[in-house]
């Protein structure tokens, strides 16, 4: 086991390891933060569980990458992240700079490598059809992901005393212009719902929009995590609890990561299949959340469950009950492709604006920001973003719209002298007011408006109101 030692405001992970010559030695690794030290401690202990901790000499980038995947990746990466990172290493890093020695890797070498990648043909995606030919080049966004991975890899090499500094820290990366995702307006979304004849797809659209759900979260919902009781609907407290997601993963990755983050494995229909469906833990810790349901959507779920119960009773033992909300005809999970294909068919057949299903989540977040006046924390709670900054970065255009409105309100109120009314935060109801109807008479209102037209009098009145409240 490794131990954690604190000395002079630094944290040290102390452990024993075997050199490649078979010599047992003790190593101290220093960190400035306790979080980093604990992370390294867990890496070492994981390595000790699967075998002796061996500090590799790692002469080349390939040597380092293998150690990085084995020691760091298996501990810190989720299933999908592991698959994506390994594929990126195999396709874009190892063939190009894998044979270089670590001391040869400099910021200049990395920058030349990044520029060369922009002229390299992109590797086919796992979702591409077999034999599909493409002349697509590696995008700047892909290069940025490569850089992020290498930065993490070299940072570990520094911590393992394999490199003196992280060359990726000083390397410039190609600029990437993020594209704003197209979304439907509320009117267009309601039109699509009206045109949709598939009850499962209609429910999926409404739930995704109302609850800001990712598609995997949507398809991973179980009835045990939903409260749609008559009382809850009446009180406005009906909710869905997001604590898992449905995902198709590579079987060999599941084995390599020792079923990490997997909650449930669905039966494998054929041993020839290289992938399998699982229920796994959500994307991040903040992705686990309770989202309250609009009354209409809650009632949709009530009707859907009733229909599902009738089907279960009719099929009897042929129905395999996994408690899934979006169960297939015989109870099996609904694949992501089933929803996305039907969604695209709905768009094509009705000549609707082209968007992807995930855009419904973006529409949801956009309208929630507009309706609640830009309450980022509330939206973050619904969306499951790890940080509020992720919301502001991705939806800054919404906040920009609000700031434009603020400028127009100031123009109308102070410069054009238009009557735009007093801000809601400054109009305090009189004692006994219900909040729905003002107790101020029309004569009193006119007198108040005259007083408020005088800057000095207005200031005194507002100060008095604040003092009284």
Nearest to 183 by CA among 400, 397, 25: 397
Q: Phi and psi (nearest 5°) for 71?
A: -90, -45
Instruction: Report mean pLDDT in 10-residue bins for the chain, 469 residues.
Output: 87 79 76 81 77 66 95 92 95 96 92 95 70 76 96 93 88 80 82 94 94 93 96 93 95 92 92 92 85 92 96 93 94 95 96 92 77 62 57 51 55 61 44 43 56 54 52
Per-residue pLDDT, 186: 81
Domains of the chain and any CATH numbers: 3-170 (1.10.150.130), 186-244+282-385 (1.10.443.10), 421-469 (no CATH)
Per-residue pLDDT, 434: 43
Per-residue pLDDT, 125: 72
β-partners of residue 14 are: 3, 28
How big is the CA angle at 433 (ends 430 and 435), to the nearest 5 degrees? Answer: 110
Per-residue pLDDT, 414: 62
Per-residue pLDDT, 161: 80
For 306, residues 6+ apart whose C-beta sits below 8 A from its C-beta are none
Per-residue pLDDT, 431: 37
- CB burial of 310-322 (b: ≥16 within 10 Å; e: otherwise) equals eebeeeeeebeee
Instruction: Tell me the pLDDT tens digit for each residue of 298-342.
Output: 999 999 999 999 999 999 999 999 999 999 889 999 999 999 999
Per-residue pLDDT, 34: 87
What spatial distance separates the first Cα and last Cα of the chain, rounded to whole Å?
61
Per-residue pLDDT, 404: 54
Q: Phi and psi (nearest 5°) for 429?
A: -60, 145
Instruction: Tell me the pLDDT tens digit for each residue of 401-418.
Output: 555 555 565 556 666 666
Per-residue pLDDT, 222: 97
């Amino acid at each position: 086991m490794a131990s954690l030692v604190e000395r002079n405001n630094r944290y040290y992970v102390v452990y024993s390891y075997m050199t490649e010559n078979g010599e047992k030695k003790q190593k101290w690794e220093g960190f400035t933060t306790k979080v980093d030290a604990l992370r390294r401690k867990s890496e070492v202990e994981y390595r000790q569980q699967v075998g002796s901790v061996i500090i590799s000499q790692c002469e080349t980038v390939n040597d380092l990458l293998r150690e990085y995947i084995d020691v760091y990746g298996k501990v810190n990466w989720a299933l999908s992240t592991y698959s994506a990172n390994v594929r990126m290493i195999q396709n874009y890093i190892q063939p190009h700079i894998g044979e270089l020695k670590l001391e040869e890797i400099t910021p200049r070498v990395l920058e030349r490598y990044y520029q060369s990648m922009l002229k390299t043909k992109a590797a086919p995606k796992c979702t591409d059809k077999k034999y599909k030919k493409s002349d697509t080049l590696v995008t700047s966004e892909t290069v940025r992901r490569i850089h992020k991975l290498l930065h993490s890899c070299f940072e570990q090499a520094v911590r393992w005393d394999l490199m003196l500094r992280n060359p990726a820290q000083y390397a410039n990366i190609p600029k990437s212009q993020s594209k704003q995702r197209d979304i439907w307006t509320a009117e267009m979304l309601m039109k699509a719902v009206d045109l949709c004849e598939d009850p499962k797809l209609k429910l999926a659209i409404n739930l995704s929009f109302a609850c800001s759900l990712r598609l995997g979260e949507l398809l991973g919902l179980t009835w045990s995590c939903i409260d749609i009781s008559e009382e809850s609907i009446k009180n406005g407290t009906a909710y869905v609890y997001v604590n898992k997601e449905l995902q198709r993963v590579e079987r060999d990755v599941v084995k390599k990561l020792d079923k990490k983050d997997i909650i449930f494995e669905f039966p494998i229909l054929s041993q020839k299949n290289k992938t399998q469906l699982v229920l796994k833990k959500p994307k991040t810790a903040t992705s686990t959340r309770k989202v309250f349901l609009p009354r209409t959507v809650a009632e949709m779920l009530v009707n859907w469950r009733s229909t599902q119960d009738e089907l279960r009773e009719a099929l009897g033992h042929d129905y395999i009950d996994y408690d899934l909300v979006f169960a297939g005809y015989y109870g099996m999970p609904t694949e992501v492709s089933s929803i996305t294909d039907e969604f695209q068919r709905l768009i094509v057949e009705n000549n609707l604006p082209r968007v992807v299903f995930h855009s419904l989540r973006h529409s949801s977040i956009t309208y929630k920001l507009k309706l609640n006046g830009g309450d980022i924390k509330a939206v973050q709670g619904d969306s499951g973003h790890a940080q509020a900054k992720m919301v502001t970065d991705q939806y800054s255009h919404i906040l920009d719209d609000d700031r434009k409105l603020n400028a127009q309100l100031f123009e109308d109120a102070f410069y054009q002298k238009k009557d735009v009314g007093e801000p809601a935060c400054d109009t305090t109801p009189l004692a006994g007011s219900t909040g729905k109807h003002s107790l101020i008479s029309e004569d009193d209102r006119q007198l108040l408006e005259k007083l408020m037209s005088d800057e000095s009098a207005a200031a005194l009145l507002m100060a008095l109101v604040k003092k009284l409240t």
